[in-house]
Structure 1
Amino acid sequence: MGSDASEVYRRYLSAVMLHGQASARAVDLGATDLYALNILELTGPMTPGELGTRSGLTTGPTTRLIDRLADAGYVRRVPVPGDRRKVLVELVGTSAEFDEMLAPARRRIGEIIGSYTPEQREVLFDYFIRAADAYRDATEDLRTE
């Protein structure tokens, strides 16, 4: 597969990123806004600093991101029990619009995954888990350089 494998993979990543951007635009959000909502959905409430770190933003842009999402009704700031100085950002909910917008891609990807044997799906999901860890580690490496 050689360089062809690299090209195929890069095309795949580009398609995923382009879909994320188009999805965000379809619900009048920026790509980073949609990404932040995904982070909160996957990990639960977190401090603004944690959300900024996970989304790759500095303090100012993180504050503006949270303000936009709060104004749109997607998140809220809640005080941390026992420490009035700290707040957590928590997901209030996502609209039915999100589910409707993502349904076609989810259906298509579900059909593709469903076409594999159970053994092939096991390898595929093993890859997803290991690749996500590798990308997180590589991201940390870039941040510390």
Structure 2
Amino acid sequence: MILKLLENQGKVKRLDVELKRDIEKQVFAAARNNNISSIQFRNVVARKLGLNITDSECLSFLAIKGRATPKELAHYTGLTTGSTTAMLDRLEKSQFIKRKPNPEDRRSVLIEISEKWAKTAAPLVKGIQQSQAELIASYTDEELKIIADFLTRFTNNVIEQTKRVESSPPS
């Protein structure tokens, strides 16, 4: 009888470990799929607006951050400073951004999205924003705390690894 109980406990532990591994794989797959679907969504929005993906990424970054220097945008997009200037010239010509003097550095400017960009992009992203808000609202406060913690830590891992790779010598 005792042997049977110990044998069953061993099976339960194996099942628990297997279940945890399966859930971990599901989380990684979901994170990858989220990244892929986000890229696809941003690409569709860019095409609808006649933008290339780098210009669209710049505008998305500005929409999230509020404003940035050209140097920050060059770093984010991976463009050279010259290419960043050309991108900003295109976006300014399209009236999607505004250049403003940087109050902290007279030699620099700050880039902000314009009202035209906000009005142009809003109808395209309204549906996803509403769907995501409804999804978030469907979770309890405790579940949201866990989700927020996970996403924050997951993002911090990506940021740390980006810095590590960026600072390492080329292969």
Shorter-normalised TM-score: what interval? Answer: 0.7 to 0.9
List alignment gaps of at least 5 residues for structure 2. 1-21
Aligned pairs for 1:101-112 within 5 A? 101-112=124-135
- Alignment counterpart, residue 78 of structure 1, candidates 100, 117, 120: 100
- Structure 2 match to 1:133: 156
Deviation at 1:42, TM superposition (A): 2.9
SS, match of residue 95 in structure 1: helix
- What is the percentage of aligned positions where both structures have the same residue? 28
- Structure 2 match to 1:51: 73
Corresponding letter in the other structure for 1:107: Q
State whether structure 2 residue 50 is matched by structure 1 residue 35: no
Deviation track 1:5-36 (CA, whole Å, cap 9, x = no partner) reads 43332222211111111122122222222221
> How many angstroms apart in 2 are the aligned matches of 1:89 and 1:59?
14
List alignment gaps of at least 5 residues for structure 1. none
After superposition, the Cα gap between the structure-2 partners of 1:121 and 1:63, relative to the gap in structure 1 and judged at 3 Å, is same
Could you say which structure has the higher helix fraction? 2
State whether structure 2 residue 116 is matched by structure 1 residue 115: no
Give TM-score, length-normalised by structure 2.
Answer: 0.72
Task: Report the structure number with the largest CA radius of gyration.
Answer: 2
Query: How many residues were matched structurally?
Result: 145
Deviation track 1:64-106 (CA, whole Å, cap 9, x = no partner) reads 2211111111112233458654333233232323111001111
Calculate the aligned-residue CA RMSD, in Å: 2.2
After superposition, the Cα gap between the structure-2 partners of 1:107 and 1:78, relative to the gap in structure 1 and judged at 3 Å, is closer
Range that drifts further, 112-121 or 129-138: 129-138
- Structure 1 match to 2:165: 142
Structure 1 runs of 4+ aligned residues shifted over 3 Å read: 2-5, 79-85
- Structure 1 match to 2:31: 9
> How many angstroms apart in 1 are the aligned matches of 2:26 and 2:69?
42
> How many angstroms apart in 2 are the aligned matches of 1:91 and 1:12?
25
Corresponding letter in the other structure for 1:101: L
> How many angstroms apart in 2 are the aligned matches of 1:100 and 1:83?
36
Give TM-score, length-normalised by structure 1.
Answer: 0.83
